[in-house]
A and B are shown apart, each in its own frame.
Chain A
Amino acid sequence: MNAMNPEGYVTSDGRKIGGVLMEMKNITLRFGGVKAITDISFDIREGEIRAIIGPNGAGKSSMLNVISGFYIPQEGEVWFRGKKRAPMKPYEVAQQGIARTFQNIALFEGMSVLDNIMTGRLTLMKSGMLDQAMWWGRAQREETEHREKVEKIIDFLEIQHIRKTPVGRLPYGLKKRVELARALAAEPKLLLLDEPMAGMNVEEKEDMCRFILDVNDEFGTTITLIEHDMGVVMDLSDRVVVMDYGKKIGDGPPDEVRSNPDVINAYLGVSHD
């Protein structure tokens, strides 16, 4: 595999990975005097499952927030779809085709699963507030179209049985799946998953893995995820960025990263003798 080829590469299971979708160039992020990220560069390619791993406090979530445009780095550039990205508001990020899930689920607890997922399509709706309040003409047609898309996602993630259930009544594992559904509803080019398996049991993890792979396979969505569970990361991802103390200490396919001595040190510690 040649990850440096600008035309893309072919993975071990025969998937074709395209050119660069997003590129981080020499990113440095500071909170006051604290450096959360120091001079990190890497790229995310079209159709790829890209993982960011590292011990606690390594700066993974900060990195994800930089990608999503929520944090603006003091130094460095973010290039998305061949253009340098200027600072943006969150809705502009969503319009650009980036969607995410959160480490601590951020759903509307009182709303049904269906309504929650429908909110994912908000940026794709064109009718105005007045139209929607009257629910006539274009608003009605539009809602039907969006509902169709949402139902495809509900079917895809096998959550038909909780379609009308308020999210607050669902167990944790299902909430995670609903969050993924909402992110998918936005039809993102790039999907960011912040610890999608955290707090799940083995069976839920396996389900989630399958869904992530299926999303990538079926919709061709590029996925970037942060994950603690090393087994999951190694199974899922095409390439892995390893961070420690805000620095990049490894980057490459899972097998390569696994045998990288710096990565082993970061995870297992170094013997000082």
Chain B
Amino acid sequence: MAATDGLNSIPALLDRNARLFGARPAWREKEFGIWQCWTWAEGAAEIRAIALGFLALGLNRGDHVAVIGRNRPALYWSMVAAQMCGAVPVPLYQDAVAEEMAYVLDHCGARFVVCGDQEQVDKVLEIQDRLPHVEQVIYVDKRGMRKYDHSHMNALADVEAEGKAGHYRFDAELETRIAELDYDSTCVMLYTSGTTGKPKGVVLSNRNIIETSKNSSEFDKLRPGDDVLAYLPMAWVGDFIFSVGQAMWTGFCVNCPESAATMMTDLREIGPTYFFAPPRVFEGQLTQVMIRMEDAGRLKKRMFDHYMAVARRVGPAILDGKPVSAADRLAYWIGDKLVYGPLKNTLGFSRVRVGYTAGEAIGPEIFDFYRSLGINLKQLYGQTEASVFITQQPDGQVRSDTVGVPSPGVEVRIAENGEVFYRSPGTFMSYFKNPESTASTKDAEGWVATGDAGFFEEATGHLRIIDRAKDVGKMADGRLFAPKYVENKLKFYPNILEAVVFGNGRDRCTAFINIDLTAVGNWAERNNIAYSSYQELAGHPRVYEAIKAHVEEVNRSVAEDPMLSGCQVHRFCILHKELDADDGEMTRTRKVRRNIIEQKYADLIAGLYDGADSVYTETEVTYEDGRKGAIRATVRMMDAATVAGQRRAA
């Protein structure tokens, strides 16, 4: 308690910030082409009005308030307002289809649902008859809402106005409710994306969120003048920590983009100082840069190539503060004026002081590309149950193949079977209405199983993650099978979007490949290869040749590690459709669901192992609006060369 001086809830932090940094920007949102800004004092007033409005609508202590929509100040305010009333905010993934939403809304028993716009309201109404406990639907954006039945529906602006008008009736009640909040009361409930089975509601207390925010803010020396761009799903624990926890603790400004489609423009306009993105965002940006450089004039292209070579050589060392010769420093300085500076400006990274990537492994070239430009991009390892942070990389000790040292206050140990366990102030309270899962995940001493297998490097003390512990298996001859390890190596090629490796309990490994339509499409265009669909491009013989070369390169690299040399890919096929969360093949955070893919494409897997040249298959697909259709295709199987035996002599 002493460590945070009585600031033991988010509303308490808000109150402090309104007093301490009242006139500083706290939230910005681009609307009508202009960045609208709210200071801490203004935001606090809005939040209070919403909270009073919630009380007027009859929000009780312990109620759950579901929040669905894109990142907007109004939705963040609603979450804090719910906390003020002693209720628990439950942010949901906004791109989930109604079915998926029904489970979560029913499981948490939300009485109030706050929706961003008509689209989300429609989804809630669609499943309303299965959700008897939903009493109030509140929406932010009024567009298209006029004709709806408003007997149990309100615009947030009206709720707020009602709260302001009736404040004399509810002020005392609100003060009582705020005063009741303590370190152990629930701060937020977040549903895990559910790589396996149904999503689980992770209950995080004020202690979890505030201690973690404090430790991690101090670790990276975050400060009140910082800016973040809030664009990742609000349902994701990272967004809650960055845009609510750390923002409240430190007092920095949260910037919300105009829409998902304008994120890149908004990123450039804001120029965040603290930035988080999953690897695919960095990959996407790098691909864009490379595509545009292919089309640049010869002089520019040469200048770019030359100075990027300089950057790759000395950039990371300069960033880490290691000794570099004066000549190299000069070359890098010129490069910064001519290439890196303008490029960082275009990407919106000019001001980034601390950048993080996590969630998936990032390709070493991609990682080094950004670091060589002088962007302090680091990796962290975490999960919802830990309030994000388990390990992270300190400044100056950054590498692409580790996830860093244990975060402040976190203890990490490796079990016999290689599984990583941790214990920290951020460790979750429980899974909501699921004591069995809580007990099997968190033991009596507070150690939590991550489900990931990894090890500490002896020389540096950094943690390396190999794979999901349950995915790490044995091949028929007893050799280690770590599919993710191989898949990540494959995915580092820009041409490969996704890969799924099979081989558990079998004598050799095979793989499914998803090509990246942007990268391969661009390559096809430059080589005059005509194609009319994803499917046609995926089946093109020259694409197969290119992917085969990648697979064989990966095999050579895998063979170098004696422990994992059995995981080389002997045969592969390029899937005729992209793996998609709407078809249940991936989670909403784009992690492959191995079991489902194995069942759905059993015929293709059989083909990979029985030596067939090609397999005819029909696949069911779900469109965005929930209708179903089928894709028919003949998928070709191709062999890839492998490296036999041990090559490591020394």
Contacts and interface: CB of A to CB of B under 8 A. Distances in A.
A158 B34 CA distance: 15
Interface string B246-284: 000000000000110110010000000000000000000
B33 A151 contact: yes
B378 to A, nearest CB: 30
B147 interface: yes
A156 interface: yes
Interface in B495-530: none
Given A214-B144, A217-B144, A218-B143, A151 B32 contact: yes
A108 B584 CA distance: 44
Given A148-B32, A154-B33, A161 B262 contact: yes
Contacts of B258: 160-161
Given A148-B32, A151-B33, A152-B32, A158 B259 contact: yes
Contacts of B624: 203
A228 interface: no
Nearest to A156: B143
A163 interface: yes
A32 B265 CA distance: 55
Interface in A144-197: 147-148, 151-152, 154-156, 158, 160-161, 163
Contacts of A231: none
B545 interface: no
Contacts of B33: 147, 151, 154, 160, 163
A13 interface: yes
Interface string A213-232: 11001100000000000000
Nearest to A114: B33
Contacts of B31: 155
Contact of B147 (A13, A152, A156): A13
A155 B144 contact: no
Contacts of B265: 161
Q: Is the interface of A mostly helix, strand, loop or mixed?
A: helix
Given A160-B259, A160-B261, A161-B262, A210 B32 contact: no
Contacts of B261: 160-161
Could you say which of A154, A156, A161, A210 has the most chain B C-beta atoms within 10 Å of its C-beta?
A161
B322 interface: no
A14 interface: yes
Contacts of B262: 160-161
A218 B146 CA distance: 8
Contacts of B147: 13-14, 217
Contacts of A217: 144, 146-147
Contacts of A152: 32
A147 B34 CA distance: 11
B141 to A, nearest CB: 9
Nearest to A150: B33
Q: Is the interface of B mostly helix, strand, loop or mixed?
A: loop
Interface size grouping (class) on chain A: 10 to 19
A3 to B, nearest CB: 21
A224 to B, nearest CB: 22
Interface in B121-172: 143-144, 146-147
Given A161-B261, A161-B262, A214 B32 contact: no
Contacts of B34: 151
Could you say which of A13, A151, A155 has the most chain B C-beta atoms within 10 Å of its C-beta?
A155
B146 A155 contact: no
Interface in B18-37: 31-34
B346 to A, nearest CB: 14
A160 B33 CA distance: 8
A152 B31 CA distance: 9
Interface in A204-254: 210, 213-214, 217-218
Nearest to A149: B32
B284 to A, nearest CB: 15
Given A155-B31, A155-B32, A161-B265, A210 B144 contact: yes
A258 to B, nearest CB: 24
Contacts of B143: 156, 214, 218
Nearest to B33: A151
B92 to A, nearest CB: 22
Nearest to A161: B261
Contacts of A163: 33
A203 B627 CA distance: 13
A158 B260 CA distance: 11
Contacts of A218: 143-144, 146
Nearest to B262: A161
A13 B262 CA distance: 35
A11 to B, nearest CB: 11
Nearest to A148: B32
Interface in A4-21: 13-14
A154 B258 CA distance: 11
A154 B399 CA distance: 44
A115 B34 CA distance: 16
Interface in B419-445: none
Contacts of A158: 259
Interface in A106-135: none
Contacts of A154: 32-33
Nearest to B260: A161
A8 to B, nearest CB: 18
Contacts of A160: 33, 258-259, 261-262
A139 to B, nearest CB: 19
Could you say which of B33, B34, B258, B262 has the most chain A C-beta atoms within 10 Å of its C-beta?
B33
Nearest to B34: A151
Contacts of A13: 147
B110 to A, nearest CB: 27
A226 to B, nearest CB: 24
Closest 4 CB pairs of A and B: A161-B261, A151-B32, A151-B33, A161-B262
Given A156-B143, A214-B144, A218-B144, 14 more contacts: A151-B34, A152-B32, A154-B32, A154-B33, A158-B259, A160-B33, A160-B259, A160-B261, A161-B258, A161-B261, A163-B33, A213-B144, A217-B146, A217-B147
19 contacts: A13-B147, A147-B33, A151-B32, A151-B33, A151-B34, A155-B31, A156-B143, A160-B33, A160-B258, A160-B261, A160-B262, A161-B259, A161-B262, A161-B265, A213-B144, A217-B144, A217-B147, A218-B144, A218-B146
